[in-house]
Structure 1
Amino acid sequence: MNPSALKDAAALDLERKTSGPRGPLHGIPILLKDNIATRASDGMNTTAGSFALLGSIPPRDATVAAKLRAAGAILLGKANLSEWAHFRGNIPSGFSGRGGQATNPYIPLGDPSGSSSGSGIGTAIGLTAAALGSETDGSIISPSSANNLVGIKPTVGLTSRAGVIPISVHQDTVGPMARSVADAATVLTIIAGRDPLDNFTLAQPREVPDFTKALVPNGLKGVRLGVPRLFQSSDPNIMAAFNASIEIIRGLGATVIDPAEFPDAEELLASNNETLVLNTDFKVDVKNYISGLLKVPTGVTDLADLIAFNIAHANEELIPPFYADQSQFLAAENTTVDAAYFTALAADKDLGQTRGIDGTLKKFNLDAILIPTDGFTSTPAAVAGYPVVTVPLGFQPDNVTATPADPVIENGPGFPFGISFMGTAFSEFSLITYAFAYEQATHTRLKRLAFPAAIPKTQLADVIGK
């Protein structure tokens, strides 16, 4: 929690009375994933869930946090995440050494998905109006899907990563997670834009769109969408709901090309380029982030130090039987920026963009790609650096047998899942239009509540004026 939140709220209330609101986020509480830096004077830590960065002092707010603050949002606190944005090793989603194991509000002990796990949970049950997550491959859209939310994974370069603990400069992006497309569009409008501290943002169009103007109820009329069947979920309940959604979308005036396979689908499914790129980027980028901190009480400077820290603090970080792994760290430490890395980087661009998303859009004359969020959805957009918007699609039936808790339940009765709209670079405005039209026709999110014990009992009426 932000110990300055109530003070900030009081000041913003006074400002609203005296000079009016700054905009739609004035006084609105927003959670930040715990890899998004905030100024030390607020009293919050930024640690990626690791004790290794506890007490570290960033030089400034992350740019996206500064934009929210300037818009009048209250930075309510930091949300738990899969530690190091799920890049430490083979650990369950939603676990970090500092935060412990987070779980899904729709099924007791359920997998919250990750790595923006806490951002998803907190938003789903109304602890915050919206949250920021970050995605390298799936970390916004997957927890949004699992927590019955709208998630926007922006084009790499639409939102700044300055002040965000990194995995990969080539794939990381920050985006909103919210309970409606309208809320997500409102937040995205605030956090998007060029930033001299992140040169990837200089590739975006000069003017940031007002994404709330994309909220058109008949926005699917005349649109051409393609369905790549090779990237589908293996879950029959998800596929039944997805196939039914295609008919809804056709009824809203869209043309759906089914199937519309990626020209390079088999190659994309088999590719290992992303692993090499991310491992190499992380080793370089995390050292750069730590070197920019004003203070690091633990003394860590690079990935080798982080590995050693975890071993030295195994009782906090490497907890058996579920949380003892740091194989991703070890693999990344063994990389180097070499010819193979640059070859993999170029191959990812070709597979994800030229012969992937762009190639598919061109081949079938499509406006966007339609796909279940729970499938091979995130990887093409991840390696391409392209946007995805996910909205609620459905819930597992009540007669589904829950998987064993190991330590979390991977699937069970009432487990939410989403549907995604994927497009080319900086096509967020169009994707939001399509997602909004689908959301308004279905209102799937409202069809099931979180389980009773997960729903906060204290409401605003219980505290206002008391």
Structure 2
Amino acid sequence: MEDTIKVHENPAPNDLEYPDLYEASVLELQAGLEAGHFTSVDLVKAYFTRIDDVNVKGAALRAVIEVNPSAISQADELDKERKISGKRSSLHGIPILLKDNIATIASEGMNTTVGSYSLLGSIVPEDAGVVKRLRQAGAIILGKANMSEFAFFRGKNNELPSGWSGRGGQCTNAYYPNGDPCGSSSGSGVAASIGLSTVTLGTETDGSITCPSSLSNVVGLKPTVGLTSRAGVIPVSLTQDSIGPMTRSVEDTAIVLSAIAGKDPNDVVTLSQPSVIPDFTKALNKDALKGKRIGVPRRIFMDQQVAKNAPYVGSVFEKALDVLRSLGATIVDPADLPSAQRMNKAPYEMIVMETDFKIDLNAYLAVLKESPTGVRSLADIIKFNDENRNLEQPAGFEGQSRLLSAEATAGKDETYLEALAIDYEYSRAKGIDAALKEHNLDALVLPSVESCWSPAAIAGYPIITVPLGFYPDNFPIKLNEQSPTRPISQAPGMPFGISFFSTAYSEFVLIGFAYAYEQATHTRLARKAYPAAIPKTQLKDVVGSR
């Protein structure tokens, strides 16, 4: 990368044990910063070089679409501030990568393009709401993570592979060469998994935090719609979109969520959130599952999806239920969603998302201060793609059926309103809330495989995924059904997760459950990425080169 920081192989000037950036946590790095063992400038330089090690060179993971040319100067200012007045928060001087649909001011030197050349050079009016909160906490915006273009809402699954964007190319998994990173927060998941940043942010409409977190062996939390601001985030559907952390530990997830949660007048949905948002780090309790009732909604979202897509995952999940029991939980199995059969076959979610996409995207484009490509509407984007096929429709990546379907929608008409009402009825009153009430449950649990996250997504309810296991070394490779040359969906050593979900604004409880399970299993630590995908640069290399 052009922003590579040259380091030397000289040893560090002392015998300090520097944190391993593959696993380093927010608090571990914060302790080193506070002790003066290294600086935030050192951290940024180390992460820049780690990105250069594997992003385009080496394993060519293409997890990062661009780095922030202002990051080192920001780090320097925050280092000076630390010396004068102390740290602002646990995130002071900590680098974070943002998914490329989360807006940052253009004067900083980065783009916000949702992976598309059609938005290259566009100038947003202001930082996204979550970015404002991160800056206030003292975090450093390290760069933008690659993603499935237009949050995997450009073409259908058989048209475009997960993790591909025109600008960023094909992002791949760090646990198996050409492995599927899942989308759309693919780059955020891969970057977090191997320590290309301390923490990352992703976005989810339906599975886009949960799935890439699962396949990258990291923790991902999709908050309740309205807990974190969507202002300044290129949307799919403001009915379902949510912004959340993707990290290597539940602790780091709790720290980041505490920083980005809160009301924002630029996102009116956040104004209806609870008046007091808790410090989510207070939920980190190893005994959180004692005396709790956890349900398994097997019908459709467990039995059929696991049998179809991941039977091995199902066998590991059964052992995880025993772990939950050993931690003091009562497992209610089954605890089905009454609406499961109808929800699984219903077309209503897509009616809502396609209608929202056109309206919400057009609203985002309308307030751009500048759009060098002339794009100001969804129709303009479709036209741009057709006129710039070498950039946006290379051979094998021509699909844009979702864009075309969304453009054909007629607004929030009777069909839309009926679909939205049914969505909420099936996912909430006759779905998650019904199961919780009928069985007197505190939460529901499922393996993080295809569609198991959909009830929480459609309801706008929170879901957290933590590492559950890995496919064994003798596991047969499962090629992509649509195209054998595209990223591999299942292969030896690739990870998968387990998800806890519940009703609106239950993040505190879910973080506690996820933490208790994580601390009892430490599954993430059982396996690392394949060797070529592991960056070589460490803090000692940067500190030693001063």
Q: TM-score range by the shorter chain?
A: over 0.9
- Pick the aligned partner of 2:342 from 256, 261, 267: 267
Give the C-alpha shift of residue 403 in structure 1. 2.7
Of 167, 170, 173, which aligns to 1:101? Answer: 170
Matched, 1:50 2:50: no
User: Secondary structure of 1:453's match?
Assistant: helix
Letter in 1 for 2:136: A
- Residue type of the alignment partner of 2:409: T
Matched letter for residue 208 of structure 2: S
Output the amino acid matched with 1:38: T
Deviates most, 189-198 or 373-382 = 373-382
Could you tell me how far apart the structure 2 residues matched to 1:191 and 1:63 are? 8
Matching residue's letter, 1:387? P
Residue 411 of structure 1 corresponds to 490
Output the amino acid matched with 2:83.
Answer: K
TM-score by length of 1: 0.99
Q: Which amino acid letter does the alignment assign opposite residue 190 of structure 1?
A: A
Residue of 325, 334, 339 corresponding to 2:408: 334
Q: Distance in 2 between matches of 1:195 and 1:169?
A: 14
* Alignment pair present for 1:92 and 2:141: no
Alpha-carbon displacement from aligned partner over 1:137-178 (angstroms, at most 9, x marks no partner): 000010000000000000000000000000111000000000
Tell me the SS of whatever aligns to 1:355.
helix
How many Å separate the matches in 2 of 1:190 and 1:409?
35
Equivalent in the alignment of 1:212? 281
Residue 207 of structure 1: how far off its partner (Å): 1.3
Equivalent AA in structure 2 for residue 448 of structure 1: R
The alpha carbon displacement at 1:357 in A equals 0.5
Query: For residues 403 and 246 of structure 1, what CA distance do their matches in structure 2 show?
Result: 26
Look up the equivalent residue of 2:141 and give its one-letter code.
Answer: L
Deviations 1:3-38 (A, max 9, x none): 000001111111111111001001111000000000
User: Deviation of residue 376 (structure 1)?
Assistant: 2.6
| Equivalent position SS for 1:369 | strand
Post-superposition offset of 1:465: 4.6
Give, in whole Å, the separation in 1 of the partners of 2:131 and 2:188.
14
Greater mean deviation of Cα atoms: 199-208 or 173-182: 199-208
| Superposed counterparts of 1:441-460, under 5 Å | 441-460=520-539
Residues 1:307 and 2:376 are matched in the alignment? no
Q: Which residue of 1 aligns with 2:236?
A: 167
Letter in 2 for 1:248: V
What is the DSSP-based 3-state SS (H/G/I as helix, E as strand, rest coil) of the residue aligned with 2:114? coil
Choose which of 506, 515, 518 in structure 2 pairs with 1:427: 506
What SS class does the counterpart of residue 244 from structure 2 fall into? Answer: strand
Alignment of 1:393-404 (within 5 A): 393-404=468-479
**Correspondence 1:338-357 to 2 at 5 A:** 338-357=413-432
In the alignment, does 2:202 pair up with 1:133?
yes
1:4 aligns with 2:70: yes
Residue of structure 2 in register with 1:71 after alignment: 137
Equivalent residue for 1:276? 351
2:90 equivalent in structure 1: 24
User: C-alpha displacement at 1:319, in angstroms?
Assistant: 1.5
Q: Distance in 1 between matches of 2:260 and 2:333?
A: 35
1:392 aligns with 2:467: yes
Q: 1:71-127 CA deviation, whole Å, 9 max, x = no partner? A: 010100000000000000031111000000000000000000010000001111001
Distance 1:319 1:382 in 2: 32
Query: Unaligned regions of 5+ residues in structure 1, if any?
Result: none
Q: 1 CA distance for matches of 2:478 and 2:424? A: 37
The alignment's C-alpha RMSD in Å is 0.8
Partner of 2:312: 237
Could you tell me how far apart the structure 1 residues matched to 2:247 and 2:351 are?
32
Structure 1, residues 27-76: CA drift from partner, whole Å, max 9, x if none? 11100000000011110000000000000000010010111011010100
**1:243 Cα offset (Å):** 0.3
1:375 to partner: Cα distance: 3.8
Q: Which amino acid aligns with 1:75?
A: I
Aligned letter for 2:281? T
SS at match of 1:229: coil
- In the alignment, the residues of structure 2 paired with residue 352 and residue 407 of structure 1 have an alpha-carbon distance, to the nearest angstrom, of 33
The alignment partner of 1:175 has SS state of strand
Counterpart of 2:511 in 1: which secondary structure?
helix
Does residue 286 (structure 1) correspond to residue 361 (structure 2)? The answer is yes
Q: What percent of counterpart residues are identical?
A: 57
1:142 matched residue in structure 2:
211
The answer to whether the aligner puts 1:121 opposite 2:190 as a matched pair is: yes
The answer on 1:60 being equivalent to 2:135 is no
The one-character-per-residue Cα deviations of 1:171-223 (angstroms, maximum 9, x if unpaired) are 00000000000000100000000010001001111111100000001110001
Counterpart of 2:525, as a letter, is: L
- Give the counterpart letter for 1:443 in structure 2: H
Structure 2, unaligned stretches of length 5 or more? 1-66
> Residue 441 of structure 1 aligns to which amino acid in structure 2?
A
Task: Please state whether the residue corresponding to 1:209 is helix, strand or coil.
Answer: coil
What is the distance in 2 between the residues matched to 1:375 and 1:423?
A: 18
Query: What is the count of residue pairs matched by the alignment?
Result: 465
1:132 is paired with a residue of what secondary structure? strand
Partner of 1:464: 543
Structure 2 length-normalised TM: 0.84
Q: Distance in 1 between matches of 2:199 and 2:346?
A: 35
CA distance in 2, matches of 1:320, 1:381: 36
Distance 1:113 1:375 in 2: 10
What is the distance in 1 between the residues matched to 2:334 and 2:416?
Answer: 34
